[in-house]
Amino acid sequence: MTLLPHASQLRLPDQPYNYLRRQFPALSDTGVQLLNGLLTYDPAKRVTAQEALHHPYFQVARWQQ
Q: What is the pLDDT of residues 24-64, one digit of tens each?
A: 999 999 999 999 999 998 999 999 999 999 999 988 655 55
pLDDT of residue 64: 56
pLDDT of residue 63: 56
Residue 7, Cβ density class (10 Å: 0-12 exposed, 13-18 middle, ≥19 buried) = exposed
pLDDT of residue 58: 87
pTM of the model: 0.67
15 — pLDDT class (breaks 50, 70, 90) = confident
